[in-house]
Amino acid sequence: MASHVGGYLRHIMDTCAQNRSGQVADYIPELAAVDPDGYGLSLCVHDGHTYSCGDSDHEFTIQSVSKPLTYAMVLSRLGAVAADPKIGVEPSGEAFNEISVDARRRPRNPMINAGAIMSASLLLPPVRDVAESVIVSTFAEIVDFYSACAGRRLTMDEAVYTSESRTGSRNRAIAYMLDSFGTLDTSPDAALDLYYRQCSIRVTTDDLAVIAATIANGGLNPRTGRHVFNQEVAQRVLSVMTTCGMYDGAGDWVTSVGLPAKSGVGGAIMAVLPGQLGIGVYSPRLDEHGNSVRGGETCRHLSTDLGLHMFNVTRESRVTIRAVYDISDVPVGTEWSEQERGFLRTCRDRVRVYELQGDLTFGGAESALRRLETDMDDFVVAIVEISRIGVIDPVARTMILSMKRTLEERGRQAMLVDPDGVMRDSVDRHRHDAIAPDLNVPEDLRGLDPTLPHVHATMDAAVADAEEFLLKRARDETVRDSG
3-state SS assignment for residue 306? coil
**How far is residue 271's CA from residue 269's CA, in Å, rounded to a whole number?**
6
Please identify, using beta-carbon distances, which residue of 244 and 400 lies nearer to ligand DON: 244
Q: Which of 67, 86, 262, 404 is catalytic?
A: 67
Closest distance to ligand DON from the beta carbon of 95 (Å)? 9
DSSP state of 286: B
Instruction: Specify whether 367 is catalytic.
Output: no
The answer to whether the beta carbons of residues 61 and 202 sit under 8 Å apart is yes
Distance CA 174, CA 170 (A): 6
Is 64 annotated as ligand-binding?
yes
User: What are the φ and ψ backbone dihedral angles of 65, each rounded to 5 degrees?
Assistant: -65, -15
- Residue with smaller CB distance to ligand DON, 60 or 96: 96
Torsion on CA atoms 325, 329, 335, 340, rounded to nearest 10: 80
Question: Shortest gap between Cβ of 266 and ligand DON (angstroms)?
Answer: 7
Which residue in 65, 130, 203, 265 is the catalytic one?
A: 265
Per the CB < 8 A criterion, the answer to whether 280 and 209 are in contact is yes
195 is annotated as contributing to ligand binding: yes
Task: Report the alpha-carbon distance of residue 281 to residue 298 in Å, rounded.
Answer: 8
**What does the DSSP assignment read for 362-419?**
HHHHHHHHHHHHHHGGG-SEEEEEEEEEEEE-HHHHHHHHHHHHHHHHTT-EEEEE-T
Among 195, 196, 282, 354, the one annotated catalytic: 195
On whether 164 is known to bind a ligand per the annotation, the reply is: yes
- The answer to whether residue 265 is catalytic is yes
Per the annotation, the verdict on 247 as an active-site residue is: yes
Strands 381-392 and 320-326: unpaired
Q: Which is nearer to ligand DON, 92 or 413 (CB)?
A: 92
Closest CB to ligand DON among residues 39, 96: 96
The response to whether 196 counts as a known ligand-binding position is no
- Cβ closer to ligand DON: 237 or 356? 237
Q: How far apart are CA 176 and CA 198, in angstroms?
A: 19
Three-class DSSP category at 63: helix
Residue with smaller CB distance to ligand DON, 258 or 290: 290
Is 146 part of the annotated catalytic residue set? no
Q: Please answer whether residues 94 and 112 qualify as being in contact, where contact means their C-beta atoms are separated by less than 8 angstroms.
A: yes
Helix, strand, or coil (residue 86): coil
Query: How many angstroms separate the CA atoms of 205 and 13, rounded?
Result: 14
Q: Which residue is nearest to ligand DON (CB)?
A: 64
| Contact footprint for ligand DON (CB under 6 A) | 63-64, 96, 113, 164, 171, 199, 263-265, 290
Other beta carbons within 10 Å of 395: 25
Alpha carbon distance 219, 235 (integer Å): 9
CB atoms within 10 A of CB 134: 16
User: Would residue 228 show up in a list of annotated catalytic residues for this protein?
Assistant: no
Q: Which residues are catalytic?
A: 64, 67, 195, 247, 265
Annotated binding site: 64, 113, 164, 171, 195, 247, 265
Annotated binding site for substrate: 64, 113, 164, 171, 195, 247, 265
